[in-house]
Every structure is written in structure tokens, then in C-alpha cells.
């Protein structure tokens, strides 16, 4: 069982968690507990409204993965959260299966974004400085799967040093400073689909 903390007033979401065979409701928390290092769950589901004044990076640095719950009109806020390192964003009215899949994916190290949040085009001026090469796209897809440089090198039959070079180039082209941010940027731009 995956113990889930909930930072939301949604009774429906609590009911979805309680009806799941994979998830266990671990309780509700409020904004004052976001920085606590002794969170008693395996994951945190948080409403965008609950986190609107929170520091996204602080939430991303919690010892448990965070999945943001938002409505379809919140693409800009979701994008900001993903750039800061939040690993999941689903619709606030997600059903039990969607919640289970999102929680399992972020715990496995993947980034999960509901398709509705990907429909917003990148703002003008955010086009890539230089397009990704075919090999960089392959590396980026494997990054999105959560593979390490060593595993990417093995999968593509190239050296680990070459993988590092491609990752550095991807960071520059996407304007990212971390693997998570690169994957988030790639998802927003439609370069990677999970």
C-alpha cells in the first residue's frame, strides 16, 4: 500500500483514495506542514489553491513526491510548478485509476502531466535556440523514463561520456538546469510524451 497525504479540501478525492486497492489515506495536512521533514506518507496530493502561495521548489524538495491537483485553466501555474521540480500534475477531478497511476509514476521517478496541461503552446520567444538532434531526442526520451546516464549509454550503445555531452546540450537547448526541468520543458513543448 502507498500511503497518501492529502492537502485538499476535496471529499471526492479522499473517497477516491480510500476506495483504491493500491493507496491508503494517511491523513490531511495544511500549508504549515509542507516544510516538515517527518511527513508520514509515501506521497502528497496537493490542490493548486493550497499551494498557490507556497514555494514550488520547497514542495519539490520534500522527502516524498508531490502530485499537484489543478483544473484545466491552470496551465501556467502547472508549468511554473513543473519548472521548479514538481513531478506530477493531474486534474483535480481525477478518478481513482488516474490518481493511482500518477502516484505510482512519480514514486518511480517519472514526471506525470495530464494531457490538458500540455495543450497550452509555449509562449512566444520560448522556441528552442537550436533544434534537438535525433540522438538528443533519443537521450531525452530515456531521461523522461528516469534512466541514469549509465543505463542510457547501455541502451543506445554509446559511452557514458557521450551521454553526458548530449545531456548538457539538451539542458542548453531547453534552458534547463536539471534533468527534471529538462523533462518538464520537453513535455510542455510536446517533445516527450509519457
Across the chain, what does the average pLDDT equal? 82
Would you say residue 1 has pLDDT above 80?
Answer: yes
Would you say residue 112 has pLDDT above 60?
Answer: yes
* Residue pointed to by grid coordinates 524538495: 61
pLDDT interval class at 32 (50, 70, 90): low
Domain ranges of the chain: 2-118, 134-188
**CATH says 134-188 is which class?**
mainly alpha
Nearest Cα to Cα of residue 126 among 185, 64, 86: 185
pLDDT tens profile 177-186 = 888 888 888 8
Topology of the domain covering 2-118: Rossmann fold (3.40.50)
- pLDDT higher for 148 or 73? 148
| φ, ψ of residue 134 in degrees (nearest 5) | -60, -45
pLDDT tens profile 52-104 = 666 777 888 888 888 998 888 887 788 788 877 888 889 888 888 888 999 99
**pLDDT value, residue 151:** 95
Would you say residue 123 has pLDDT above 50?
Answer: no
Would you say residue 6 has pLDDT above 60?
Answer: yes
Would you say residue 43 has pLDDT above 70?
Answer: yes
DSSP 33-93: GTT-S---SSEEEEEHHHHTTS-HHHHHTSSS-EEEEE-TT-HHHHHHHHHHT--EEEETT
pLDDT interval class at 118 (50, 70, 90): low
The CA distance from 84 to 135, in Å, is: 26
- pLDDT higher for 40 or 193? 40
Q: What do you get for the CA distance between the two ends of the chain, in Å?
A: 24
Contact in structure between 170 and 143 (CB atoms under 8 Å): yes
Would you say residue 124 has pLDDT above 60?
Answer: no
Please state, as a whole number, how many other Cβ atoms lie within 10 Å of the Cβ of residue 130. Answer: 10
Amino acid at each position: 500500500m502507498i500511503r497518501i497525504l492529502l492537502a485538499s479540501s476535496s471529499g471526492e478525492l479522499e473517497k477516491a483514495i480510500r476506495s483504491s486497492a493500491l493507496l491508503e489515506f494517511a491523513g490531511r495536512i495544511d500549508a504549515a506542514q509542507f516544510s516538515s521533514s517527518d511527513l508520514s506518507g509515501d506521497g502528497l496530493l496537493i490542490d493548486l489553491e493550497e499551494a498557490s502561495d507556497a514555494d514550488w521548489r520547497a514542495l519539490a524538495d520534500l522527502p516524498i513526491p508531490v502530485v499537484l491537483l489543478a483544473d484545466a485553466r491552470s496551465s501556467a501555474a502547472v508549468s511554473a510548478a513543473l519548472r521548479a521540480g514538481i513531478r506530477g500534475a493531474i486534474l483535480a477531478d481525477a478518478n481513482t485509476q488516474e490518481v493511482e497511476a500518477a502516484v505510482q509514476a512519480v514514486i518511480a521517478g517519472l514526471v506525470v502531466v495530464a494531457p490538458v496541461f500540455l495543450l497550452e503552446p509555449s509562449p512566444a520567444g520560448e522556441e528552442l535556440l537550436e533544434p534537438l538532434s535525433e540522438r538528443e531526442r533519443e537521450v531525452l526520451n530515456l531521461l523522461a523514463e528516469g534512466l541514469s546516464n549509465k543505463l542510457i549509454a547501455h541502451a543506445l550503445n554509446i559511452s557514458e561520456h557521450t551521454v553526458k555531452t548530449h545531456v548538457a546540450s539538451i539542458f542548453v537547448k531547453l534552458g534547463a538546469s536539471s534533468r527534471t526541468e529538462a523533462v518538464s520543458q520537453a513535455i510542455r513543448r510536446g517533445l516527450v510524451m509519457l
